[in-house]
Chains A and B, each alone.
Chain A
Amino acid sequence: MKHLLTTEQLSRSEAELILDLTGRMASAVSGREIRKLPTLRGRTVVNLFYEDSTRTRTSFETAAKRLSADVVNFAAKASSVSKGESLKDTALTLQSMGADGVVIRHPASGAPQRLTEWVDGAVLNAGDGTHAHPTQALLDAYTMRERLGGIDGRTVAVVGDILHSRVARSNIWLLSKLGARVRLVGPPTLLPRAIEDWPVEISYDLDASLRDTDAIMLLRVQHERMHDAFFPTANEYARLYGLDERRLGLMPDHAIVMHPGPMNRGMEIAAAVADSPRATITEQVANGVWVRMAVLYLLLTNGEL
């Protein structure tokens, strides 16, 4: 495999290889004098971001720099895209500059797939529309493996705006592939139609879903993608599907609370829960750098996964 576009395309052994490498990357760099490896010296990674992003872009940038790659940041708002340049022409520009890897985030599902037709380098999907966000799912899986000691046989509840969430989609495929039981919880209006083929259970009742949950993954309500009324009020959503301290108490003691960020405190997650030691939100950010180092190492050293 030359690109990382979705978690659906990964085999179980490929996914496990990435998670193992992630652990190695973490221990290869943490706690040492020089926190940089020469592995990707002289190679160029372009961050091509058509959507706003803080953590994913800086995470990819940090990961590439830890491996000594040169990083070019390309934000659509400050580029020729705002003058009307198409994705194809931007891609051809990058191609002639010789990018070894292109990290792309795009509002259109499938844009990274198209990009692979125009560039020779590896394409890494950093989120496309409502389709996929594979490195986020991989870092979530790594965080679970670290905190829960494994993924096989664990129950994971993914709660909230599944309909608009590429994080949820990537996690469903990855976690089920790694042997977890995945349960989607949310209002019917925010669950996609036609998901009978997905390897998931579905619930509309959060309280009833908490008792046997090892990890709960809260999703941000994505106002920017909502062009209809999906629920009556923010207050009602928070009351039915927000994780507060009472609900945290219903979960087993070992269960962890995950959120891909950015959070709406008071909406899908109460501030006290977000700051509790059972929340892994900052760990997820730290693990994101290791996961992206592992993926860059795999795709940019010999082009094979």
Chain B
Amino acid sequence: MTTPARGAPSGGPDRPPPGKQILSADDIGRVLDRIAHQILEKTKGAPDTVLLGIPTRGVALAGRLADRIRRFAGHDVPAGTLDITLYRDDLRRQALRPLGPTDLPPGGIDDHRVILVDDVLFSGRTVRAALNALYDLGRPASVQLAILVDRGHRELPIRADYVGKNIPTARYENVQVRLTEYDGTDGVVLTGGEAQ
């Protein structure tokens, strides 16, 4: 299940070695099962709830969570897409970012519980941008955050309500989330540690 580590573990005892697979395809499936159950538990069956995925990989994750909630609870939770590019705070520093679509479910987000879904939680800046984007689109009753991997190093007072896995990382390392929808395979890999 694991790919061999390409270098010696750098850093603390609980930090995975670089190049190491952190979640396998089966792990991701189980993690998403658990998050879907947690959403149902915490929201008492997820009434008036909308899942909004943040492009790119958050969109697929939101769709998978909606499928699972339908399977577990027998009712539909609409899933949509929230592109946050135009709300980023690093547009002047980064290379050009293409814009993604924003697709809200037909019922909109007003007075709904919105659960933002993304693959990796890092600085928290993407979530900050998503919150601003959300409040220009309507007035949700509440907003929660579901994340596949929390890698730490927060720069803003933001936390996730549902976390797939906490992974201690160094700042210069890279957490690569691969999903079948985009990459042909499921998995989470930590890379880039040995290069520094």
A contact residues vs B (CB 8 Å cutoff) = 17, 20-21, 24-25, 27-28, 32-34, 36-39, 67, 297-298, 301-302, 304-305
**B: number of interface residues (CB 8 Å):** 20
- Contact call A38/B101, Cβ cutoff below 8 A: no
- Contact call B96/A36, Cβ cutoff below 8 A: no
- Residues in B neighbouring A301, C-beta threshold 8 A: 91-92, 96-97
Knowing A28-B86, A28-B102, the reply to whether A33 touches B136 (Cβ < 8 A) is yes
CA distance in complex: A15, B100 (Å): 18
CA distance in complex: A25, B83 (Å): 11
Q: Which residue of B lies closest to A303 (CB)?
A: B92
B contact residues vs A (CB 8 Å cutoff) = 83, 86-87, 91-102, 132, 136-139
Known pairs A21-B98, A27-B101, A297-B86; list 16 more (Cβ under 8 Å). Answer: A20-B98, A24-B100, A24-B101, A25-B99, A27-B102, A33-B138, A34-B136, A34-B137, A37-B86, A37-B87, A38-B86, A67-B86, A301-B97, A302-B92, A302-B93, A302-B95
**25 A-B pairs with C-beta separation under 8 A:** A17-B98, A20-B98, A21-B98, A21-B99, A24-B83, A24-B99, A24-B101, A25-B99, A28-B83, A28-B99, A33-B137, A33-B139, A34-B136, A37-B136, A38-B86, A38-B87, A39-B86, A67-B86, A298-B96, A301-B92, A301-B97, A302-B93, A302-B94, A302-B95, A304-B95
- Residues in B neighbouring A21, C-beta threshold 8 A: 98-99
Q: Which 8 A-B pairs have the closest CB atoms?
A: A24-B99, A301-B91, A34-B136, A39-B86, A37-B86, A32-B137, A33-B138, A304-B96
- Residues in B neighbouring A302, C-beta threshold 8 A: 91-96
- Residues in A neighbouring B101, C-beta threshold 8 A: 24, 27
- Residues in B neighbouring A25, C-beta threshold 8 A: 99
- Contact call B132/A38, Cβ cutoff below 8 A: yes
B160 smallest CB distance to A (angstroms): 24
CA distance in complex: A208, B95 (Å): 49
B131 smallest CB distance to A (angstroms): 12
Please report the number of residue pairs spanning A and B whose Cβ atoms sit closer than 8 angstroms: 50
A153 smallest CB distance to B (angstroms): 26
CA distance in complex: A67, B83 (Å): 15
Q: Contact check: which of B92, B94, B136 meets A36 at CB < 8 Å?
A: B136
Q: Which residue of A lies closest to B99 (CB)?
A: A24
A114 smallest CB distance to B (angstroms): 26
- Contact call B96/A39, Cβ cutoff below 8 A: no
- Residues in A neighbouring B102, C-beta threshold 8 A: 27-28
- Residues in A neighbouring B95, C-beta threshold 8 A: 302, 304
Interface centre among A28, A37, A67, A298 (most CB of B within 10 A): A28
- Residues in A neighbouring B93, C-beta threshold 8 A: 302
A115 smallest CB distance to B (angstroms): 22
Q: Which residue of B lies closest to A38 (CB)?
A: B87
CA distance in complex: A21, B95 (Å): 15
CA distance in complex: A36, B86 (Å): 10
CA distance in complex: A37, B99 (Å): 13
Q: Which residue of B lies closest to A35 (CB)?
A: B136
CA distance in complex: A278, B95 (Å): 40
- Residues in B neighbouring A28, C-beta threshold 8 A: 83, 86, 99, 102
- Contact call B137/A39, Cβ cutoff below 8 A: no
- Residues in B neighbouring A38, C-beta threshold 8 A: 86-87, 132
CA distance in complex: A294, B91 (Å): 14
